Each structure stands twice: as C-alpha cells, then as structure tokens.
Amino acid sequence: MSHRPLFFAALLLVAANATAQTGSVEVKNAWARATPGKSENAAAYLSMQSPVADRLTGASTPVAKKAELHTMTMEGAVMKMQPIAAVDLPAGQEVTLKPGGMHIMLLGLTAALKAGQSFPLTLQFEKAGRREITVAVEPVGAMGPAKASGDGMTMPSR
C-alpha cells in the first residue's frame, strides 16, 4: 500500500497550521479625508481583524514623508494627539481606526488629497508582515467611507 496519500495529508495539515499561526489580517474600509488648501498633514482610517493576536507596528505611503500611528484623546475640553508604538489586534476581534481615536497620521504630504482619488498605504504587522492596501479619499469633513470597501477580502502578503 502506498503512503503517498497519507504523506500528502500530513503536508496539508502542516501548511494549514503554519498559516493559522502567522495569520492573515483582513483590512477593510480604508479611507482618508480630502485635504483643504495647502494642508501638510492628513489621517487615514481603516478596520482590521486577525485570526491570531497580532500588532500593527507601522505604516508608510508615497503620498507623505512619514506615516505614524497616533491616538487622540480628550482631556477636559482639550483634544490631545500623540504617537503610539503599535495597535494591538486581539485574535478574532475587529479593531477600527477612526476620527477622534486611533488613526494613521500622514505627515508632510507630497500633494493634496483630493476626494474621489485613492493612494497606496503599506501596513506593517508584527506577525503577518507587510500588507499593501488602497485608501479611498473622501470629501473634506467626511466621518467615514462613502461605502464599505474590501468586501471581507484578505490582503495577501507581499
């Protein structure tokens, strides 16, 4: 009797286990507001979910000199924004970066962000590695994406 089917099944189990350990982060609804006038900074927002615990540790984009993870809090009547080292992604829980909370700050824009356009954003995860996504630019003052994007699509590794 041949052991090939058993060997093949064992290989599939090992491959599936390796994929589950590193996880595949689902990223959806990535958006930013159009920038008025000669604004030099903007923010990007999105939702993420990972099947295993992971952390978003950084971001980069060709539309800005620098991208930083930030949080915004209210202390009395004063809004404070500060950089953070990472965004934790608990296993199986959706984490949303949104106005008034955590976001990706885009510093030193290379050009204005115009409604209707989009731009690439590379996210760096501790376990899942790099993911390149597309960010839709919404009108000035938008509070969310015009329509949900991503359709639950998992972004592949690069």
Which pLDDT score, from 0 to 100, does residue 96 have?
97
- Cα separation, 55 vs 33, in Å, equals 25
Which pLDDT score, from 0 to 100, does residue 150 have?
46
- Cα separation, 100 vs 144, in Å, equals 12
pLDDT > 70: percent of the chain: 78
Is residue 94, in this structure, part of any structural domain at all?
yes
Which pLDDT score, from 0 to 100, does residue 146 have?
84
- Can you read off the two tokens belonging to residue 79? 């809004």
Phi, psi angles (nearest 5°) of residue 17 = -65, -40
pTM as predicted:
0.78
Residue 74's H or E segment, with its range, is: strand 64-75
Structure confidence by residue, pLDDT tens digits, 73-102: 888 888 899 999 999 999 999 999 999 999
Is residue 14, in this structure, part of any structural domain at all?
no
Is residue 9, in this structure, part of any structural domain at all?
no
Question: Which segments of the chain have a pLDDT < 50?
Answer: 7-21, 149-158
- Cα separation, 148 vs 113, in Å, equals 20
Is residue 151, in this structure, part of any structural domain at all?
no
- Domain extent, residue 48, equals 23-138
Is residue 146, in this structure, part of any structural domain at all?
no
Is residue 10, in this structure, part of any structural domain at all?
no
Question: 110: domain CATH number?
Answer: 2.60.40.1890
Is residue 32, in this structure, part of any structural domain at all?
yes
Is residue 15, in this structure, part of any structural domain at all?
no
- Cα separation, 95 vs 1, in Å, equals 51
Tally of domains within the chain = 1
